[in-house]
Structure 1
Amino acid sequence: MTSNGDDDAHSPGTPLDEALAWFARLQDSEASAAERKAFHSWRAAKPENAEVYARVEKLWNSPALSEALAKFPAAIPPAATRNRRRTPGRWAAAASVLLLASWMLAASGLIDRWRADYTTVAGEQRRIALADGSIVILNTDSALALDFNDDRRGVRLLAGEAYFEVRPDSARPFVVNTDNATVRVVGTQFAVRAGEKTSVAVDSGIVACGNEKGAGVQLTAGQRVSISKETVTSPETIDSGSTFAWLKGRLIFKDRPLADVLDELDRYHPGLIVIANAKLGNTRVTGNYKLDDTAAVVRALADIAGARVTTVSPYLTVVR
């Protein structure tokens, strides 16, 4: 994706990211004929491009989205005015559309939150004492449902990440389920992160985990695996200091692409962080930052990478 002026925008990479970027750009009444021609070329290049763009349009126009967004009138333009031609600058238009797009993508997550017993919002962490004496520390933007009775100790991590300090009970193993994995322990400390793949990292003790196809592995302290419905990776050694740094309110990384670091930081940020330059995203960075001021971290990382930060609104930060 190309742009005029000093935006130097490049599409982030995945078809969904590209579709959102194009959708945002085309809402601006100042979008040029050349940009619209480039969009049609992008949409025709791959069947998946057309498919994902149609999905974004459908969600944008759905009544369900309007109802969900009605809770945020100060941040989001009314549904009745979405399709009118607007005069604000293109970054202002992108702010509104990208914010709405984020809620479109989070629609299924809202269902998870309705099912959950405990939730956190972006930037929040919560310490939960369970009935058996175990402790759960629920990380940012997460949802957890309980499955406890006299015979069973279980939880379901519906979204996000949690750290478990499990009280030993050999008669009742502690079980954590996600959409694609099952983690079983007697008494130990470990973290589970849900998503398209489930990540399990062990801080102490022994953890057994696997998927619904029966593939499984046993982990010990300082190891991590990634689990999907199809596969379970071999255990890899982790740097416990950086892996569990979030428990101390920090983000630690070494020689990682800026895009990956900002993607991780975005989990703790109350709005969207967007890189508008693909080359910039490949810049390698190292750092150790507090998570209590994510906007300051973005600015610090931008300084290291020689980038600029544009704060379009409290809900959209662009690094370029």
Structure 2
Amino acid sequence: MSRDVARAAAQWLALLESGAATEGDHAALQHWRDSHPHHEQTWQKAQTLRQRFSDLPQALAMASLDRPQPGRRAVLKRALGLAALVPTAWLISRQLPVEAWRADLHTATGERKRLPLSDGASLQLNTATAVDVDLAQRRISLVDGELALNVPGRITMTVHTRYGEVSVSQAEICVRQLADGCRVSVLKGVVQVHDLNGRLATLQQGQQAALKASGLGGWAPFDVSQLGWRDGVLTAQNQPLGDFLRELERYRPGVLRWDPRLEALRVTGSFRLDDTDRILSLLSSTLGFEVQARTRYWITLT
């Protein structure tokens, strides 16, 4: 996802700006830039922003060096610190939908919420999720992230996405926003899916399909354990470690990087999402890799 690439570029930029980057960090950054053309394009944008915003603090500093007032120097120091953060914040915000900042309900990275609705219905929000809720219209708009909606009664609630709507009555579903669409999973009951072209399709219990701008794709069965986040659990069944780590990243603030040679290792088990550090520790002891923690928010697996 372009948002994830932008976030990674911003984090690399923040590390370089901090002055704490080592030779190993510079080598790792170069490897990241070389690993995909989009990485390098995003990094060049970050560098352009860095230069653009660095010009103003330098001019401010030159104009203020001969002014000895302690108060003015303190203000200038704070201004320089804020200016250094602007490119990073701007780069990330450019990749996040503006609507997510304005949505009715949010969860932070790693946070999950369960909310009772009217008439016995309930809503759950997964990590880094934003939704708008209109109870009068019985309508929930998924702005970003992932939700689970359970409507046990005969009322009908609608989940609105960028790619269409899902009508839910006496059913339970999960909807996850993806890079180019969303994934609709039916845990219980039958739901109606309306795509952007006005076409109507039906999904039944145990079925999962991708809803995109072109319409609803073909359905496939799915393992309900894939949606274990509703109970605070991340489950893997002989899953490649790379895929597992990419899913785990969603629940961890900061940077998580790993040696590409770890990608093909296999993972089986159920892990509590409340402590992602413990998950990494368990995996390292089982699979034999090393967890290197630069900070709580900068982890490398080797």
Amino acid at match of 2:220: E
The aligned runs of 1:140-179 (5 Å cut-off) are: 140-149=127-136, 152-169=137-154, 173-179=156-162
TM-score by length of 2: 0.74
Is the 8 Å Cα contact of residues 120 and 153 (structure 2) preserved in structure 1?
no
Greater share of residues in helix: 2
Whole-angstrom distance in 2 between the partners of 1:156 and 1:284? 36
What's the CA shift string for 1:243-271, capped at 9, x where partnerless? Answer: 23112211111121212111111222233
Amino acid at match of 2:91: M
What's the CA shift string for 1:95-154, capped at 9, x where partnerless? Answer: xx9xx58x83355537334321111112222121224442101122211101332xx311
What is the CA distance between 1:202 and its match in structure 2?
A: 1.0
TM-score by length of 1: 0.70
1:78 and 2:81 are equivalent in the alignment: yes
Whole-angstrom distance in 1 between the partners of 2:294 and 2:5? 24
Compared with structure 1, are the counterparts of its residues 279 and 117 closer, same or farther at alpha carbon in structure 2 (3 Å cutoff)?
same
Compared with structure 1, are the counterparts of its residues 291 and 22 closer, same or farther at alpha carbon in structure 2 (3 Å cutoff)?
closer
Q: Hey, what does 2:273 align to over in structure 1?
A: 291
What is the CA distance between 1:168 and its match in structure 2?
A: 3.2
1:208 and 2:195 are equivalent in the alignment: no
Is the 8 Å Cα contact of residues 165 and 188 (structure 1) preserved in structure 2?
yes
What's the CA shift string for 1:47-102, capped at 9, x where partnerless? Answer: x5653333333455677xxxxxxxxxxxxx935557xxxxxxxxxxxxxx9xx58x
Residue from 205, 214, 221 that aligns with 1:237: 221
Is the 8 Å Cα contact of residues 152 and 171 (structure 2) preserved in structure 1?
yes
Whole-angstrom distance in 1 between the partners of 2:295 and 2:164? 38
Q: Hey, what does 1:251 align to over in structure 2?
A: 234
Point out where structure 1 has 5 or more consecutive residues left out of the alignment.
1-13, 64-76, 83-96
1:224 and 2:208 are equivalent in the alignment: yes
Q: Hey, what does 2:167 align to over in structure 1?
A: 184
Q: Hey, what does 2:59 align to over in structure 1?
A: none
1:55 and 2:45 are equivalent in the alignment: yes
Is the 8 Å Cα contact of residues 6 and 92 (structure 2) preserved in structure 1?
no
SS at match of 2:216: coil
What is the CA distance between 1:305 and its match in structure 2?
A: 2.8
Compared with structure 1, are the counterparts of its residues 15 and 176 closer, same or farther at alpha carbon in structure 2 (3 Å cutoff)?
closer
Aligned length: 267
Whole-angstrom distance in 1 between the partners of 2:217 and 2:114? 30
Compared with structure 1, are the counterparts of its residues 204 and 308 closer, same or farther at alpha carbon in structure 2 (3 Å cutoff)?
same
Q: Hey, what does 1:268 align to over in structure 2?
A: 251
What is the CA distance between 1:210 and its match in structure 2?
A: 4.2
Whole-angstrom distance in 2 between the partners of 1:22 and 1:313? 14
Whole-angstrom distance in 2 between the partners of 1:26 and 1:114? 28
Question: Which gives a bigger RCO, structure 1 or 2 (Cα 8 Å, sep 6+)?
Answer: 1
Whole-angstrom distance in 1 between the partners of 2:5 and 2:121? 42
Is the 8 Å Cα contact of residues 280 and 305 (structure 1) preserved in structure 2?
no
Whole-angstrom distance in 2 between the partners of 1:17 and 1:230? 28
1:125 and 2:112 are equivalent in the alignment: yes
What is the CA distance between 1:16 and its match in structure 2?
A: 6.3
Is the 8 Å Cα contact of residues 147 and 176 (structure 2) preserved in structure 1?
yes
Is the 8 Å Cα contact of residues 292 and 301 (structure 2) preserved in structure 1?
yes
Amino acid at match of 2:99: D
Name the larger-Rg structure: 2
Identity of aligned residues (%): 27
Greater share of residues in strand: 2
Compared with structure 1, are the counterparts of its residues 80 and 157 closer, same or farther at alpha carbon in structure 2 (3 Å cutoff)?
closer
The aligned runs of 1:103-114 (5 Å cut-off) are: 104-109=91-96, 111-114=98-101
Compared with structure 1, are the counterparts of its residues 226 and 58 closer, same or farther at alpha carbon in structure 2 (3 Å cutoff)?
farther
